[in-house]
A and B are shown apart, each in its own frame.
Chain A
Amino acid sequence: MPLDHRRLRGPEESQPPELWAAGTGAVPEKEEEEDAAPQDPCALRPLFARAGLLSQAEGSAYVELGGGTKVLCAAWGPREAAEPGAAAAAAAAGGGRLLCEFYRAPFAGRGARRRPGSAAERDAEREAAAALREALEPAVRLARYPRARLAVSALLLQDGGSALAAAISAAALALADAGVEMYDLVVGCALCRLPGPAAAWMLQPGEPEERRAVARLTVALLPALNQVSAVLGGGQGSPPDDWAQALRLGLDGCHRLYPVLRQSLLRASRRRDATAAAATTTTA
């Protein structure tokens, strides 16, 4: 691995302690799996969303899925496009650009610490950022911001499964909180199918389920308009009906999550109005 001169160096190689826990650790894991098996595949994990919590970003949102996925997202409204030239051609086509970033904290995953700055990490982040952009672009009224760029930055603090879906929801909330004009909020929902002949699709898998899954799917929906903005996923092949059923299950999940996100946005704007009113009364 090439030396990263900008970060402090530790040992060249290190392994997580779980690797050596073979003897004693394996048994409790199996018990965990058996407990988790009888789980309602249509059950949604409790979702906590809060918008407007960062002071330095124009819009921000924090989404937490019960069981441990934590995503923080910040968004900035229209700013002048940074590079002329190459971007001019794209800008001439009308509309602004949406730039997305996705960071995974080094301590976000169970097991080995991800080394920040490594090539594998950067590739994964780039992929996730592209997926985020794909899901958000249809919802933002880019035509209203010609030659401008809107920035979204998502940070995954803890990965407990369904991370991309949570990031999509958080990013849409942050954009709305920043006052960017949008057609609708984007709600993300993840599904996965566990190995086994009669396995059904499961909504919002946790981290152990995602690891064992043979097929994964993330859907992004604009609920009020009932339009799908992105379908991302893949895995073991199965008849098209199976995937269609999974899609329907995912969209249903998105519809159910929508009110929670709307509520958090309403509460954030009320809070903002309250602080603005308090500030004006002190100046008066």
Chain B
Amino acid sequence: RRRFPRLRTVEPLEYYRRFLKENCRPDGRELGEFRATTVNIGSITTADGSALVKLGNTTVICGVKAELAAPAVDAANKGYIVPNVELPSLCSTRFRSGPPGEEAQAASQFIADVIENSQIIAKEDLCVANGKLAWVLYCDIICLDYDGNILDASAFALLAALKNVQLPSVTINEETGLSEVNLKQKNPLIIRKHPVATSFAIFDDTLLIVDPTAEEEDLATGTVTIVTDDEGRLCSVHKPGGSPLTGAKLQDCITRAVTRHKEVKKLIDKVIKSIKPK
């Protein structure tokens, strides 16, 4: 396959169009093909649960730390899940150091929406004592290498890390009213749903390509992310502006997302099973 390096630098869109005409992309993938996905669970021992996900070059790590706090006054029987997506200057030259920029904030909000819409964990399950004590799950997602499709990688890392979390058992002593934590007895979190995100880039208002790299994202005229649930159910559609999509095209996206969900679920189950003997 010829590369045309000068065309790639000078007229990247034209370069891409030549490939898209043949229904493929410069890295050899088809329009509906994901990059090689790998997941590694439990590598950060200081975190209560962790996962490292790679989608091609894009690398994202999620660490979950569980702490105890008093529940909010208006939600006395609910715990908290606080996601935080960081795009440090380390992952790409497009990000400067300092407080989270626009993209990081948007990604954090997206993850918060995924948690809320899919009910991946029922916040009631995180409550220890009504009105007095509840768990707070701080989910910190840090991008280590930014090559596009940060949303899919972050959602996947979050799901894998949460499946890895082991919470110590907490009891409230009836007589003293104080909480007692037993660090030796740990229970896994109750994961109710398994949301999986599938992102597409829209090219020239018509073509949809799945799992865009950073280069493809820059050339795209729009993006759309579909979040699916278990049993092929649609959880949410995230389409922040960009080119309009016909209903038929959206349906294609949803179909592809459902297939992707099965692939991801299989991968997670395989990894969880491989670390089971503890």
Contacts and interface: CB of A to CB of B under 8 A. Distances in A.
Q: How large is the interface on A (under 10, 10 to 19, 20 to 34, 35 or more residues)?
A: 35 or more
Nearest to B72: A11
B217 interface: no
Interface residues of B, number: 59
Contacts, number: 156
B28 to A, nearest CB: 10
Interface in A1-48: 4, 6-11, 13-21, 23-25, 28
A28 B182 CA distance: 12
A150 to B, nearest CB: 13
A146 interface: no
A124 to B, nearest CB: 15
Contacts of A15: 67-69
Contact of B2 (A7, A110, A283): A283
Contacts of A157: 44, 61
Contacts of B84: 7-8, 106, 116
B164 to A, nearest CB: 12
A20 B66 CA distance: 13
A9 B184 contact: no
Contacts of B145: 54-56
B67 A14 contact: yes
A113 interface: yes
Contacts of A14: 67-69, 136
A6 B100 contact: yes
Interface string A151-177: 101110111100000000000000000
A17 B91 contact: no
B140 A16 contact: no
B140 A17 contact: no
Interface stretch (B150-158, B173-181, B197-205): B173-181
A20 B138 contact: no
A206 B97 CA distance: 29
Interface in B128-142: 136, 138, 140, 142
A8 B106 CA distance: 11
A136 B251 CA distance: 54
B112 A155 contact: no
Nearest to B182: A24
Contacts of A11: 69-72, 80, 136
Interface of B: 1-3, 43-47, 50, 57, 59, 61, 63-72, 80, 82-84, 86, 88-93, 97, 99-100, 104-105, 108-109, 112, 136, 138, 140, 142, 144-147, 168, 170, 178-184, 214
10 contacts: A6-B104, A14-B67, A20-B170, A54-B144, A54-B145, A55-B147, A56-B145, A70-B44, A101-B97, A116-B86
Given A17-B68, A107-B47, 8 more contacts: A7-B100, A8-B112, A17-B183, A18-B183, A20-B179, A24-B181, A70-B44, A107-B140
